[in-house]
Structure 1
Amino acid sequence: MEEGQLLARPRLPAGEAWPLPPGLHPLGLGGARDGLLRVPKAPLPGPLPLILMLHGHGGDAARALQRIEPIADAALILLPESLGATWDVLEGGYGPDVARIDAALARILAAWPVDPARVAAAGFSDGASYALSLAMMNGALFTHALAFSPGFAAPVRIEGKPRCFLSHGTADRVLNIDLCSRRLAPKLRQSGYPLTYLEFSGGHEVPEEVARRALAFLDTA
């Protein structure tokens, strides 16, 4: 496996039955930092969109879910947790967190009717940077990247051109917009990534309207 590579792929199971009821379920990866799977409350027609949602520094699955709670019933949401305080690329390089994410994705994609045209890597803050990097390295899997207040992108290889949604608050005091998204967005455009870039009046957060805009973006091809 190449550095940062994810091998999991959607493969529609026979039928469209949901293997778990609506609500929160443990991922079952083991350890104190396991993560969650959020199943929509109401049945959705056809194959499900899948959002891999990654938390920020010092965060966890529950807090990551809170960031996109307004759209939680519109997709199957996979919420892994980093083994350290943040994701592995920020603590020495791609490795253990990539392996755990791949294992979780393989399990979910084998069991659930996931739409291969709507598979998004999403995240907030450090998680946004990590999700964007994973999407850029794994365009054969991820069709979209949803990056809420990212700081950077650090792909070690490039695969495909997933559609990218970036949002950032103009008053963000944690990750300064001038040093982060206002530098990152032009680079993505220059590299040929289909990009929607949204600035909003606010801080280090994901306003409800931004989450809903991201969901609408996930439905674009």
Structure 2
Amino acid sequence: MARPDKAAAVAEIVDAFNDSTGAVLTEYRGLTVKQLQDLRRVLGENAHYAVVKNTLTKIAAKEAGVDGVDALLTGPTAIAFISGDVVEAAKGLRDFAKANPALVIKGGYVDGASMEASEIAKLADLESREVLLGKMAGAMLASLSQAVYLLNAPVAQVARLAGALQAKAEEDPTILKGGAGTPAAPAEDTAAEEAPAAEPAAADEAPASEDSTEATESTEA
């Protein structure tokens, strides 16, 4: 391989290491082209499965700061560069290896730490990230339901008030401008405001009563 081609190949592997959350190294000796295609299909979006040269991969691993993989780079090597769920990728590799013994999992590098083949197997036995998060959320809700309710109650009240205001504004847009839709004052306040107006009316009636009395006395006289 010419030097420029080697440099490009190394750079590609470096990018693959940097862009992935993990990498599982495998030996693929004995697998047919169709089986390799099937494996890539099984991994789907969780990992990109690529055949690599050991010497170039050692250089790339060093440049990418990936430690602990040199010992795994012996014999025909292909790497599953994981970009999706690490657990799902490990499950896919494990299940495929069970059905196709020619695929041998050597080990890997996940979340900044090297892993042996046995550790990859344990990783494959875990539940998926979504399931684990669901169980964690369920456990948290079981013990913190009251706290969550209290914290969310004010927000819910605001949401209900906003919804009611929006519905009212759709019926009468002037409510948002202080127009005809402005809510009326409470009954107690209205009664209190009308009470003083009734008193002057009573005072005005008093003189009329006196005049009537004087007129009656004058007639009698």
**Smaller-chain TM-score bracket:** under 0.3
More helix by share: 2
- TM-score (normalizing by structure 1): 0.25
More strand by share: 1
* Structure number with bigger Rg: 2
